[in-house]
Structure 1
Amino acid sequence: MFDAIMKFIGELNEDEPRSDDFAETDYRLAAAALLVHTAGVDGQISDVEHASLHDLIKQRFKLDDKAADKLLNRAEEADEKAIDLYQFTTRLNRALDDKQRARIVEMMWQVVFADGKVTEFEDNLIWRAADLLHVSREQRIALKTRVAGEQETGK
């Protein structure tokens, strides 16, 4: 009994969720769902966008392939159920600092630029999400420019 209580207290104090636990309150699920929404906002998720999405999630959250696939599946389900961006951005605002929220916007640009083109729907979505994440217009544009440049140089 004492061990169970100590485990529960330890889980409450963890800064980082377990690598394979993607609860509704996990900021990684909110970030991944926002990225899934970004990839599909133009009507379809291309193979290139899906691969980019998988790689970003795997690298950013330090997951293995199996855990990244699990998070992507949960994120797709969350995105399908979502009625707006607010539920994702609220979770991210609570869990992340300014720099980390800007990193989410950068990841959104990376997903968008994965297929080499930016649609007006994608651009508008990132503008709205960045606003909800309290990422400034200037920072959003700078991130877009940087990611576009990285795509051109093949980084």
Structure 2
Amino acid sequence: MFDRLISFLQQLPGDTADKAEAEADRDDPRIAAAALLIHLMDADGVRLDTERAKLSEALNRAYGLAGRDRDAFIARAEKVERESVDLYAFTSVLKRNLDEQARIEFIGIMWEMVFADGELSELEDNIVWRVAELIGVERRDRIAMRQRVDPQKTMGDADDE
């Protein structure tokens, strides 16, 4: 009986190819970065056109993705993000694959995403802080990246710590 159940489950469509693709996506730093940006974009519960445009711009600028390739890439990143249980799944990939400067620049991209809609939510601020901590970006670098995107923010302002 149990063998029949295992056999049935193994024959379900999408089993091995989807698993192989999902595993590859989880270890792809480009997918990890996009998934984190999607998570950040959805943090306030509203995905605006300006945020979508900023994500598209970031993917085009960083990876040369446009058109259908970009849309397919975003769909893969959204799927991986939906299936994740925490940020560590993505941040560990970035920390392993990016050097210090690239990790700092990624935090800058996250701040661009945060301010794409012209507003900063406490939840978005917290996500950037947590991601920065998990990928090893120092507080001063996180603040510097924020100031680059939002020059009105000064070092004396409260900064989630």
The TM tier, using the shorter chain, reads 0.7 to 0.9
- Aligned-residue offset at 1:149: 3.4
From 20, 25, 29, the counterpart of 2:27: 25
CA distance in 2, matches of 1:116, 1:64: 25
**Pairs within 5 Å for 1:81-92:** 81-92=83-94
AA paired with 2:66? D
Which is further off, 26-35 or 60-69?
60-69
Q: Measure the CA separation in 2 of the matches of 1:146 and 1:86.
A: 26
Who is 1:12 aligned against? Answer: none
Aligned to 1:129: 131
State the one-letter code of the partner of 1:100: A
Render the CA deviation track for 1:75-97: whole Å, top value 9, x for unaligned. Answer: 11111111110000000111110
Contact persistence 1:58–1:65 (CA under 8 A): no
Contact 1:31/1:88, CA 8 A, preserved across alignment: yes
Given residue 86 of structure 2, which amino acid in structure 1 is its aligned partner? D
Distance 1:133 1:23 in 2: 19
Partner of 1:72: 74
Partner of 1:105: 107
Identity of aligned residues (%): 40
Moved over 3 A (4+): none
Match in the other structure for 1:95: 97
Distance apart, 1:24 and its partner CA = 2.9
TM-score (norm 2): 0.76
Per mean C-alpha deviation after superposition, the further-off stretch among 63-72 and 50-59 is: 63-72
Q: CA deviation at 1:59?
A: 1.0
What TM-score comes out, normalization by structure 1 length? 0.79
Contact 2:26 2:90 in 1 (8 A): no
Stretches of structure 1 that go unaligned for 5 or more consecutive residues are 1-21, 151-155
Residue type matched to 2:34 in 1? A
Judge conservation of contact 2:56–2:66 (CA < 8 Å) in 1: no
The secondary structure found in structure 2 opposite 1:114 is helix
2:25–2:80 Cα contact (<8 Å) kept: no
User: Match for residue 60 of structure 1?
Assistant: 62
Q: Alignment length, in residue pairs?
A: 129
Aligned to 1:5: none
Largest Rg, 1 or 2: 2
What SS is found at the alignment partner of 2:136? coil
The two structures, once aligned, show a CA RMSD in angstroms of 1.4
Runs of 5+ unmatched residues, structure 2: 1-23, 153-161
